[in-house]
């Protein structure tokens, strides 16, 4: 048992004394020699605890002392955060136990209330991709690391939510065969270029529709109560390099132009790209596309360069060699164990013909025969854990006042 685990059994006064002594030993003190004042701790998941202090010590000094501090408490410090609303509050995110090495997917992990596709469980709870905030994603990882498995989980959730799904997979959809009756699969350049071109056209159509109705995004448009609400469309590309490796310069330019247009313009209209990459490099992930795809999921790489391209750091090269272990980059970096997809049951789910995107004129003149309703799927939802940790110290503040 580490010293930190042992200290959690102390009364609050003893905990404060415990940390005061450590801060004096490692010389982490303000100019008036006052050590950080222990306020309290919060269990943020089964894997981590947040320990909060009141302090006048700048955050960079905490970060400089991170290595020696975790040696003293004999526990891994996952992160050091400063409260966004009160700079005098600093929190240590301390690991209670390692992440699980396998978490089987069940449909109860689906986030039913928001436009979020969940990926796995990290130290802050369930981690997912919020489509309203991060419309496009890269999923990078070496063969066998779990990249396709993540895409299966995301496709499954997209179908549960009633989204339209298009899959571009030049391996003829072999890894995604159980979805073949429910999604449109493009096996070759001709069908892939056609699908991407249709998405560019649909993006333009939706933007014109928003302008006409004086709204900014798909959520606001659907809240107007129109008879023909728009469905989100997710385009999965199993291997981006395979799609872009063609030697036909004209075809290559058309593919790049379509991808760049979609990553730049389709954020608000509810059309999303989720692109798998086996080994990212600057010839595939060029500047324009990379700049417009801020959400990254990166598995372990032996060398550092792919990690730097995806995450802007070497962190993925230091991951444990565990299948399904990834680092997610959104506003921050966090390590997660992705869900292991074990299959689903679709007895009431519509077939792919029913999920083809509906192209409507701007004046919305359509007959009822042209409208396809998204299927209703009943799923028992588990309590949703926080996918983003906002470091709200309000409850701790109340503890502080009572001390």
Do residues 39 and 155 share a domain? Answer: no
Q: What is the mean pLDDT of residues 122-140?
A: 95
User: Do residues 91 and 109 share a domain?
Assistant: no
CB under 8 A, 24+ apart: contacts of 213-220: 216/268, 217/132, 217/268, 217/269, 217/270, 218/268, 218/269, 218/270, 219/115, 219/132
Number of domains the chain is built from? 2
Give the three-class secondary structure for 353. Answer: helix
For residue 206, the enclosing domain spans 103-370
131 near 171, Cβ under 8 Å? Answer: no
Does residue 380 lie within any of the structural domains? no
**Judgement on whether residues 156 and 42 belong to the same structural domain of the protein:** no
Return the structure tokens found at 41. Answer: 């701790």
For residues 345 and 239, give the distance between their C-alpha atoms in angstroms, rounded to a whole number.
Answer: 26
Least confident of 39-43, 119-123, 132-136, 140-144: 140-144
Question: 353 or 238: which carries more pLDDT confidence?
Answer: 238
Mean pLDDT of the chain: 83
78 closest CA partner among 394, 338, 333, 384: 333
pLDDT at 113: 84
Q: Pull the structure tokens for residue 64.
A: 């400089």
Which two structure tokens, joined as six digits, stand for 210? Answer: 């928003």
Strand intervals (E) in 205-279: 233-237, 271-277
pLDDT at 117: 97
Looking at 58, 82, 97, the residue that finishes a domain is 97
Closest listed residue to residue 96, CA positions, set 48, 50, 43: 48
> Residue 245: its pLDDT value, please?
81
Residue after which a domain boundary falls, among 72, 97, 122: 97
What are residue 329's phi and psi, to 5 degrees? -115, 115
pLDDT of residue 127 exceeding 90, the answer is yes
Residue 387 belongs to a domain? no
* CA–CA distance, 245 with 71 (Å, rounded to integer): 48
> Domain check: are 120 and 93 in the same one?
no
- Asked if the model's pLDDT at residue 391 lies above 80, the reply is no
Residue 375 DSSP code: P
Residue 403 has pLDDT above 60, yes or no: no
Digit-coded pLDDT (tens) for 68-119: 999 999 999 999 999 989 999 999 999 999 999 999 999 999 998 899 999 9
Task: Establish if 391 belongs to a structural domain.
Answer: no
In a domain, 392, yes or no: no
For the whole model, what pTM was predicted? Answer: 0.81
Q: What is the mean pLDDT of residues 253-260?
A: 91
Tens of pLDDT, residues 8-48: 667 888 889 999 999 999 999 887 778 999 999 999 999 99
For residues 89 and 107, state if they share a domain. Answer: no
At 379, the pLDDT band (50, 70, 90 cuts) reads very low
**Which CATH number does the domain housing residue 20 bear?**
3.30.980
Q: Indicate if 40 and 107 belong to the same structural domain.
A: no
Cα-only R_g, the chain: 24
pLDDT value for 225: 87
């Amino acid at each position: 048992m580490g010293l930190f685990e042992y200290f959690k059994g102390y009364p609050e006064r003893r905990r404060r004394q415990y940390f005061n002594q450590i801060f004096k030993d490692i010389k982490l003190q303000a100019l008036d020699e006052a050590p950080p004042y222990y306020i309290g701790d919060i269990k943020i998941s089964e894997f981590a605890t947040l320990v909060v202090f009141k302090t006048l010590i700048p955050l960079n000094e905490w970060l400089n002392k991170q290595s020696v501090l975790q040696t003293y408490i004999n526990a891994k410090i996952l992160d050091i955060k400063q409260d966004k609303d009160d700079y005098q509050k600093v929190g240590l995110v301390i690991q209670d136990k390692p992440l699980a090495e396998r978490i089987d997917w069940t449909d109860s992990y689906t986030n039913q209330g928001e436009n979020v596709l969940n990926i796995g469980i990290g130290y802050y709870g369930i981690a997912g991709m919020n489509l309203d905030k991060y419309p496009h994603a890269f999923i990078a990882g070496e063969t066998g690391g779990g990249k396709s498995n993540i895409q299966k989980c995301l496709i499954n959730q997209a179908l549960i939510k009633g989204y339209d799904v298009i899959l571009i997979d030049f391996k003829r959809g072999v890894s995604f065969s159980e979805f073949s009756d429910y999604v449109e699969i493009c096996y070759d350049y001709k069908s892939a270029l056609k699908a991407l071109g249709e998405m560019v056209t649909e993006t333009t159509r939706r933007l014109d529709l928003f302008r006409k109705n004086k709204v900014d995004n798909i959520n606001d448009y659907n809240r107007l109560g129109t008879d023909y609400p728009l469905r989100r469309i997710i385009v999965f590309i199993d291997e981006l390099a395979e799609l872009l490796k063609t030697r036909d310069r004209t075809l290559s330019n058309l593919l790049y132009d379509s991808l760049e247009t979609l990553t730049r313009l389709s954020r608000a209209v509810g059309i999303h790209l989720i692109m798998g990459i086996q080994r990212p490099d600057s010839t595939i992930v060029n500047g324009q596309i990379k700049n417009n795809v801020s959400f990254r999921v990166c598995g372990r790489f032996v060398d550092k360069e792919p990690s730097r391209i995806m995450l802007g750091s070497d962190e993925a090269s230091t991951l444990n060699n565990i299948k399904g272990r990834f680092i997610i980059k959104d506003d921050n970096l966090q390590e997660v164990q992705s869900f292991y997809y074990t299959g689903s049951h679709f007895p009431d789910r519509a077939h792919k013909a029913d999920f083809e995107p509906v192209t409507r004129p701007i004046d919305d003149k359509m007959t009822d025969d042209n409208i396809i309703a998204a299927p209703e799927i009943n799923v028992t939802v588990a309590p949703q854990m926080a996918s983003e940790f906002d470091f709200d110290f309000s409850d701790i503040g109340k503890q502080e006042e009572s001390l």
